[in-house]
Amino acid sequence: MKNIAMYLLVLCSVGAKANTFEADIVSALLERTTHNVTYDGAYISIPYPNGDVPDNIGVCTDVVIRAYRALGVDLQKLVHEDMVANFNLYPSKRIWGLTRTDKNIDHRRVPNLQQFFTRHGTVLKVSNDSKDYKTGDIVTWVLTGNLPHIGIVIDRISEQSGNPLIVHNIGRGPKVDDMLFDYKITGHYRYVPAN
């Protein structure tokens, strides 16, 4: 009986952690949509750790970075540290011809975030079934012109399509959109911080 009670306690605490993460990430994402942000991916030297480009600019990755930062997670630091230790596993050399890490930009590149989430999160299946995409899931796409894109699923469903809504920045600042299946999905991840 004691073992059953302990098992139920563990299950409840795991469920509570997931629910807390989902509520927290949705709150952080929706807060991001209240900012007036001009889409600008220019290279900018930023502080390290916990650096950020100016508040009034950003790209799709900055939505993810800033939402996780609101949860106390510094993706700049985490991505940088993982890239220093495992540079050859990241696409920086293949895609951009780099030979070393760059704390100013590495975490702001979708392919690097995909590799980080693959290594430190959970890789989920890519499907055409909207039920497979849950609140807090990170999704990546390839846009027209072979441009990578990233966003996060929130807890709202589109009345028109029945698909979960996404918070992302595709050029008009952080927005809530019904766009899950508008482009080819290239990745589906879950990254729940340890803390």
Q: Residue 138 maps to which CATH number?
A: 3.90.1720.10
Is 162 among the domain residues? yes
Question: How many domains does one find in the chain?
Answer: 1
The predicted structure's pLDDT at residue 18: 57
Under DSSP, the state recorded for 146 is T
pLDDT in tens, 21-57: 999 999 999 999 999 999 999 999 999 999 999 999 9
Is 14 among the domain residues? yes
Range of the domain at 101: 2-190
Q: 13-27, 91-105, 174-188: which range is least confident on average?
A: 13-27
Is 32 among the domain residues? yes
Is 195 among the domain residues? no
Is 137 among the domain residues? yes
pLDDT in tens, 167-183: 999 999 999 999 999 99
Mean pLDDT of 10-19: 47
Is 107 among the domain residues? yes
Q: What is the pTM of this model?
A: 0.90
Q: What percent of the chain has pLDDT over 70?
A: 90
| 127 CB-contact burial (10 Å; exposed 0-12 / middle 13-18 / buried 19+) | exposed
Is 102 among the domain residues? yes
At 116, give phi and psi (nearest 5°).
Answer: -60, -50
Angle between helices 2-32 and 60-70 (to 10 degrees): 130
Q: Name which of 140, 131, 125, 120 is nearest 163 in CA terms.
A: 131
Q: Name which of 72, 75, 135 is nearest 105 in CA terms.
A: 75
Q: What percent of the chain has pLDDT over 90?
A: 89
Residue 166 makes CB contacts below 8 A (sequence gap 6+) with 139, 151, 152, 153, 154, 176, 177, 178, 179, 180
3-state secondary structure of 143: strand
Distance CA 82, CA 189 (A): 17
- In which residue are the tokens 């991916």 written? 41
